[in-house]
Structure 1
Amino acid sequence: MPVIFYARVSTAEQNLDHQIAQALAAGFEIDEIIADHGVSGVSTTLAERPQGKRLFDRLRAGDVLLVRWVDRLGRNYRDVTDTIRHFIRQGVVIRTVINGMTFDGSTSDPMQQAVRDSLISFMAAMAQAQAEATKEAQKAGIEAARRDDRKYLGKKPSYSRAALGSVQEMLVTGAGASAVAKETGLSRQTVLRIKADPIAADAALLRWRL
């Protein structure tokens, strides 16, 4: 059963090697890697991405599609749920690195199918909520940076734009501060500050032009 790891790397700061390392550290074996670089997950569906199109052509019944999180499979709730259900109908097993979720079509029991579909919907909704929260935080951060006279920048952030996104993504999935700190390499105190005020965390990056 080949395992195909799909990744979307939207910015220069995001690192494909790091995402692969996370998957391997979680115990996954990867047979093939398909990745889209410089592609926004907010404005493009999976089928519209160059390597996303390839993924649709590549996957066959019995294959395992591994992704860091379900948000890699679409730009919003509808895209994510439609994509997951499309692959399930094809006999593809979908697994996530974060939380170790598995979605497949192995069950024929109506109750178990209902539970599975509800979980898919819930995870997709969480992914969209995280994306929208990040966009709003960025908007507010930009506005805050514009109001700042830049005479005092404050302490330089110990995190990058990519790290901030990873922290917010993991927090919205329910991960604890200690687990997030271990995963991202940041201090627990930094993670808690980001959790308490994501807008301020984003504004600090903008003030320092990071």
Structure 2
Amino acid sequence: MATVLYARVSTADQTIQHQEVQARKAGYEIDTVIADHGLSGVSTKLVERPEGKRLFDMLRKGDILVVRWVDRLGRNYRDVCDTIQEFMRRGVTIRTVINSMTFDGATTDPIQQAVRDALIAFMAATAQAQAEATKEAQKAGIEHAKSREDKYRGRKPTYDRKQYQTVQDMFAKGDGASAIAKATNLTRQTILRIRNAPDQAEATLAAWGM
């Protein structure tokens, strides 16, 4: 039985190492790290990515697949649902670092199966919705910046994209503002502003080319 971490990064601000460190801090003993670099989870299915295809080839019954969250598998609702269901059919257990979720095909109870599948669908839909919201926010930020190239763009954000992503990830895990402030060196006011208006924060980063 092997424990495999699958990591995916689509921008220069994300790192494979960060996802591995998160997984190990969560208590996972990782045997192998499989990673795809610079690939969108929206337009590219897992099985179509070079290392994603390798993941399908290597996972066997009894293996554990660890991901930071389901959005690392993809940000397309149907692809994520199909991927998780296929791995469960093979006897593979999927575990997430964020929220410590576990998905497997062990239960034969139809009610438990329905609850499990509904949760998978919800998480997959959330991953796609977040991707679409981010894309729209980036587009709005870029258009806003272009339209005001010679005008005042407002105050430069006090956070960078890595700090922004850390705030989002830690809130998703249930961490409080104080813990996030300690981890990111941001003020509570900034952290709460990102939490309460993530699209606006994303647009501000895009406007400043960050």
TM-score with structure 1 length normalisation? 0.89
Query: After superposition, where does 1:50-65 map in structure 2 within 5 Å?
Result: 50-65=50-65
Runs of 4+ more than 6 Å apart: none
1:2-21 paired onto structure 2 within 5 Å: 2-21=2-21
How many angstroms apart in 2 are the aligned matches of 1:183 and 1:117? 36
Aligned AA (1:89): R
Tell whether the 8 Å contact from 1:9 to 1:39 is kept in structure 2 after alignment.
yes
CA distance in 2 between partners of 1:199 and 1:115 (Å): 31
- State how far apart, in whole Å, the 2-side matches of 1:41 and 1:14 are: 14
Structure 2 residue 100 is the aligned partner of structure 1 residue 100 = yes
Aligned length: 209
Distance 1:158 1:19, change over 3 A: farther
Residue equivalent to 2:131: 131
Which structure 1 residue ranges, 5 or more long, are not aligned? none
C-alpha root-mean-square deviation of aligned residues, in Å? 2.3
Q: Contact 1:74/1:83 (CA < 8 Å) preserved in 2?
A: no
Q: CA separation in 2, counterparts of 1:94 and 1:184? A: 27
Alignment gaps of 5+ in structure 2: none
Q: Quick check: 2:63–2:93 contact (8 Å CA) kept in 1?
A: yes
Q: Match of 1:7, SS?
A: strand
Mapped contact 1:44–1:75 kept (Cα < 8 A): no
> Could you tell me how far 1:157 is from its partner in structure 2?
2.4
Alpha carbons of structure 1 residues 59 and 180: separation in structure 2 relative to 1, 3 Å: farther
Which residue is 1:44 aligned to?
Answer: 44
Contact 2:8 2:35 in 1 (8 A): yes
For 1:82-93, list aligned pairs within 5 A. 82-93=82-93
User: What TM-score do you get using the length of structure 2 for normalisation?
Assistant: 0.89
